[in-house]
Amino acid sequence: MTQRQSEAIVLRTWPFEEADLLVSLLTREQGRIKGVARHAMRSRRRFGGALEPMTYVRASYAEKPRQELVRLDGFEILWSPLADPVDYGRTAALEFVAEVLEEALPEQAPEDAVFRLALTTIEEMRVGRVWMPVTYFALWMSRLMGWMPSLAHCTVCGLDLRGQRVWYSTASDGITCGEDRRGESASLPPGTVAEAVRFFRSTVAELAKEEWPKTRAADLRQFAVALLERHLERRIKSARALERA
């Protein structure tokens, strides 16, 4: 048996057997793993509030050879979403990050850049100020996973689209010009494309200094979510819940 300790983000928990919890964690060293928190539903002594989704912890756990599930021994809370006020919108935003990470990342595949992205964006999610961090996370997640198309040239004809309206479709890859757009395409105006470039050149903390109401960059957020859903090949339930906020 190998004892390990790692920074981790709690993604989800499920009831497991009688009083145990099955926990999905994104760890910095090993990527996404699953483990069993023994008696966590009966006694909160070892874990307390550390099992709340999107809590940043230092996790102690043990691995056995040829076993998929690790044994979770204890968590030290480093940051908790419950330390700040919570409402429907913030809850949905945090769930969005958890759902995308759970679906996009294979188990036991370290992704330090993704870990840092998740940590910095969830810390910027505040009541009434979730829209920019959600958009930032969605855009950068696609980029880190290799799914983000170039916004500068038409995939079909190669036309330089800088400073122009671009078109995208949920049924096909890439960005096109107006002449080559596919059926049921949506478009992004030049100002929105320029905003996307800013997101890739700025930190989430820098962008958080500005006001980002729900309407600002809403079309960019829609594009970012659509891109994730295309590559995940499924609807992101929390994205629909978030838009109702």
Q: Place 95 in a pLDDT band, splitting at 50, 70 and 90.
A: very high
Q: What is the CA radius of gyration of the chain?
A: 20
Q: Place 45 in a pLDDT band, splitting at 50, 70 and 90.
A: low
Domain 2-83 superfamily per CATH: Nucleic acid-binding proteins (2.40.50.140)
Cα–Cα distance, 123 to 90 (Å, whole number): 11
Cβ neighbours for 116, distance < 8 A, ≥ 6 positions apart: none
Which of 131, 139, 130, 179 lies closest to 159 in space, CA to CA?
Answer: 179
pLDDT at 44: 65
Cβ neighbours for 238, distance < 8 A, ≥ 6 positions apart: 92, 95, 96, 98, 99
pLDDT at residue 204 tops 90: yes
Question: Average per-residue pLDDT in the chain?
Answer: 94
pLDDT in tens, 114-158: 999 999 999 999 999 999 999 999 999 999 999 999 999 999 999
Cβ neighbours for 243, distance < 8 A, ≥ 6 positions apart: none
Average pLDDT over residues 37-47: 77
Is the CB of residue 52 less than 8 Å from the CB of residue 45? no
- Name beta bridge partners: 62: 3, 71
**Four-point Cα dihedral 8, 10, 15, 21, nearest 10:** 30
pLDDT in tens, 113-124: 999 999 999 999
Which two structure tokens, joined as six digits, stand for 142? 């696609």
Cα–Cα distance, 188 to 137 (Å, whole number): 19
Which two structure tokens, joined as six digits, stand for 83? 């330390």
pLDDT in tens, 68-89: 899 999 999 999 999 999 999 9
Q: Where does the chain show beta strands of DSSP type E?
A: 2-16, 20-27, 31-37, 56-63, 70-79, 166-168, 175-176, 186-188
Average pLDDT over residues 205-227: 97
The domain defined by 88-243 carries CATH number 3.30.750.24: no
Average pLDDT over residues 157-181: 95
pLDDT at 160: 97
pTM of whole model > 0.85?
yes
SS3 of residue 222 by DSSP: helix
On the question of a common fold for 2-83 and 88-243, the answer reads no
SS3 of residue 169 by DSSP: coil
Going by the DSSP 8-state scheme, the letter that residue 223 receives in this structure is H
Is the CB of residue 27 less than 8 Å from the CB of residue 47? no
Average pLDDT over residues 11-40: 92
Cβ neighbours for 209, distance < 8 A, ≥ 6 positions apart: none
Instruction: Delimit the domains of the chain by residue range.
Output: 2-83, 88-243
pLDDT at 11: 97
